[in-house]
């Protein structure tokens, strides 16, 4: 008789977080090739009504912490990767400074170990708050940088209504069990006219099409959702946000990771994987012209979105999602 697996993952079936329909069509089966926290595959589906892509079934909320070990890559970046990421943060903070400058009060949701908040503080604004579910990461942010980082999700932070001017979600919205619930809370804590800034993978990108299940933007089971510009626009509009800016990133990161993950899936974490890890900065540079071409045509693998609180018709924007994805 087969022994029960004590690490078996409890799964739940969910409806679409954007339109509420329960009419998914299967797209891909995804493995945790990046972190290797489980060998169980996950099914990526697309809502037939609005096009939102999400894992279904997916791990229950109480099981998510096991997929974020203390050595989870965003918590421990070092070397060339850390320096490149720091350069990207400084570049983005400079570009967004008109929103982040004092006297703006800045909230970073899912702030990890606090490097983005640190970049804002170093640029000249110290009125900062971080919220981070991982106690390990939140503790590092407090100890390393002295930041005001609270452990838990946004709802647990219980911020006062209209107490924040700018909210940052840097590669966070795709991790959330319910982006709609978090955006509803953000409309409560952001002041009227407040700004929401998001960084996230683009599931309508060239890289996503080429690499398929090996695209780093899927990263199951940590990435519960895979947004396109159209579905993101519709979700934001549903919660009263108007997109003011959408930028496509041009570094070749998505492509170098795609090569690494394709090789890792086929040949495991052996010598080739270690060689590709060593060559990762050079491969990123080599793929950057391709990534820049994708960005030029509005097909970049990662996007930066700036949105303002405003009224809109949710039904109209859901219907327009497919049109936006073709742009």
pTM for this one?
0.90
Domain, as residue range, for 163: 77-325
Tell me: pLDDT of 313 over 50: no
The pLDDT, as a whole number, for residue 289 is 97
* DSSP bridge partners of 24: 47
The total domain count for the chain is 1
Res. 254 pLDDT band, cuts 50 70 90 = very high
> Greater confidence, 231 or 36?
231
Residue pLDDT, tens place only, 21-68: 999 999 999 999 988 888 999 999 999 999 999 999 999 988 888 888
The pLDDT, as a whole number, for residue 141 is 95
The pLDDT, as a whole number, for residue 71 is 67
Q: Quote the crossing angle between the two packed helices 79-95 and 280-296, to the nearest 10°.
A: 30
Tell me: pLDDT of 189 over 50: yes
The pLDDT, as a whole number, for residue 32 is 94
Query: For a pLDDT cut of 70, what percent of the chain falls above it?
Result: 89
Which residue is associated with the tokens 């495991």?
268
- For residue 94, being part of any structural domain is answered with yes
**Average pLDDT for residues 282-311, to the nearest whole number?**
94
Tell me: pLDDT of 245 over 90: yes
**Average pLDDT for residues 204-213, to the nearest whole number?**
98
Tell me: pLDDT of 310 over 80: no
- Per mean pLDDT, which range of 63-67, 142-146, 179-183 is the poorest? 63-67
Spatial neighbors of 278 by CB under 8 A, at least 6 apart, are: none
- For residue 310, being part of any structural domain is answered with yes
**Average pLDDT for residues 208-227, to the nearest whole number?**
97
Res. 314 pLDDT band, cuts 50 70 90 = very low
- For residue 179, being part of any structural domain is answered with yes
The pLDDT, as a whole number, for residue 3 is 39
- Per mean pLDDT, which range of 76-80, 146-150, 300-304, 308-312 is the poorest? 76-80
Res. 211 pLDDT band, cuts 50 70 90 = very high
Mean residue pLDDT of the chain comes to 90
CATH code, domain with 287: 3.40.50.150
User: If we measure between CA atoms, which residue out of 149, 76, 159, 65 comes closest to residue 108?
Assistant: 149
Tell me: pLDDT of 5 over 70: no
**Average pLDDT for residues 317-324, to the nearest whole number?**
45
- For residue 247, being part of any structural domain is answered with yes
Tell me: pLDDT of 317 over 80: no
**Average pLDDT for residues 87-113, to the nearest whole number?**
96
Please give the Cα distance from 62 to 235 (Å, whole number).
Answer: 25
Radius of gyration over alpha carbons of the chain, in Å?
A: 19
The pLDDT, as a whole number, for residue 77 is 57
- For residue 181, being part of any structural domain is answered with yes
- For residue 72, being part of any structural domain is answered with no
> Greater confidence, 46 or 77?
46
- For residue 152, being part of any structural domain is answered with yes
Say if residues 162 and 191 touch (Cβ distance below 8 Å): yes
- For residue 26, being part of any structural domain is answered with no
Residue pLDDT, tens place only, 107-117: 999 999 999 99
**Average pLDDT for residues 172-186, to the nearest whole number?**
97
Spatial neighbors of 185 by CB under 8 A, at least 6 apart, are: 154, 155
Res. 312 pLDDT band, cuts 50 70 90 = very low
CA distances from 124 to 178, 255, 327 (A): 33, 34, 36
Res. 74 pLDDT band, cuts 50 70 90 = low
């Amino acid at each position: 008789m087969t022994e029960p697996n004590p690490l078996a993952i409890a799964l739940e079936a969910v409806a679409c977080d954007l339109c509420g329909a329960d009419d998914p069509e299967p797209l891909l089966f995804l493995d945790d090739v990046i972190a290797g926290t489980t060998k169980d595959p996950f099914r990526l589906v697309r809502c037939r009504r609005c096009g939102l892509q999400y894992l279904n079934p997916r791990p229950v909320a109480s099981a998510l912490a096991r997929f974020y070990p203390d050595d989870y890559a965003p918590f421990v970046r070092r070397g060339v990767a850390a320096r490149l990421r720091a350069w990207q943060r400084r570049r983005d903070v400079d570009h967004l400074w008109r929103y982040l400058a004092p006297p703006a009060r800045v909230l970073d949701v899912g702030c990890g170990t606090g490097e983005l908040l640190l970049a804002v503080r170093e640029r000249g604004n110290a009125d900062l708050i971080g919220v981070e579910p991982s106690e390990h990461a939140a503790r590092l942010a407090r100890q390393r940088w002295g930041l005001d980082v609270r452990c838990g999700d946004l709802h647990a932070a219980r911020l006062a209504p209209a107490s924040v001017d700018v909210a940052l979600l840097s590669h966070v919205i795709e991790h959330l069990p319910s982006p709609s619930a978090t955006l509803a809370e953000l409309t409560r804590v952001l002041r009227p006219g407040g700004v929401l800034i998001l960084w996230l993978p683009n599931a309508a990108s060239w890289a996503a099409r080429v690499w398929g299940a090996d695209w780093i933007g899927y990263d199951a089971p940590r990435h519960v959702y895979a947004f396109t510009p159209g579905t993101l626009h519709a979700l934001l509009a549903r919660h009263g946000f108007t997109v003011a800016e959408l930028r496509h990133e041009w570094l070749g990161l998505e492509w170098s990771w795609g090569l690494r993950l394709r090789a890792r899936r086929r040949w495991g974490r052996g010598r080739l994987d270690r060689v590709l890890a060593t060559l990762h900065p050079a491969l990123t540079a080599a793929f950057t012209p391709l990534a820049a071409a994708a960005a030029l045509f509005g097909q970049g693998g990662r996007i930066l979105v700036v949105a303002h609180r405003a009224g809109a018709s949710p039904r109209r924007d859901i219907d327009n999602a497919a049109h936006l994805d073709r742009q």
